[in-house]
Amino acid sequence: MLKIITLPKYEKKLRQLSKPFDTTLINLPATQKFFDEFTKTMLAADGVGLAAPQIDRPIRVITVNINHQAFILINPKITHKSWLKDIMEEGCLSVPNIYGKVKRHKNITLEYLDRQGKLQKNKFSNLAARIIQHEIDHLDGILFIDKLKYSGGAF
C-alpha cells in the first residue's frame, strides 16, 4: 500500500499545484503497477476517490470508485459544469475526522485519458460528479475544508 499523507504535517505538499502527467509513461509496466497500487490504496482506505498528491506525488492523476468500479483518470479536465449545484457532506482521507457540507456542481463533463492512454469524454452526475470535483481540487492544491458551508454561509 501507498502512504496517504494527511494534515497538518503535510499541508504544504497537499496545497501544491500538480504537474500534468507525462503521457509517454502510461504504458510502462512501472506506471501500470503504480495505477494498480494507487487504486488498491484508495479501496483499502475505504475511499471513493484519491488524488496523486495525497500519496505525495504532485501529478495530475486521480482514482475514483464509482458504482463499485474503480477508474484511473489521467490529466482530468472539467469542460462543462451545470448551473445547478447541491450541498452534501464530504470528508477526505487526507483530512481525517473532519466532515462538512460543500456546495458543488451537480453535473460535469470531463475529458481525461484512461489508464491505456485513450482520450475519454464523459458526463458525470450527482455523487460521481462530486467525487471527481473533490479529487480535481486536490490536483490544484485545494482541500474540501476550504469550501465548507455552515448555515448557508462560508466559515
Q: Beta-carbon neighbour count of residue 61 at 10 Å? A: 27
Residues recognised as catalytic: 135
Residues composing the chain = 155
pLDDT confidence band for 150 (50 / 70 / 90): low
pLDDT above 90 as % of the chain: 95
Query: Cell 503504480 appears where?
Result: 34
Does the structure show a pLDDT above 60 at 2? yes
Per-residue model confidence as pLDDT tens digits over 102-131: 999 999 999 999 999 999 999 999 999 999
What are the structural domains, with CATH classification, of the chain?
Answer: 11-154 (3.90.45.10)
Q: How far apart are CA 49 and CA 121, in angstroms?
A: 19
CB 146 within 8 A of CB 100: no
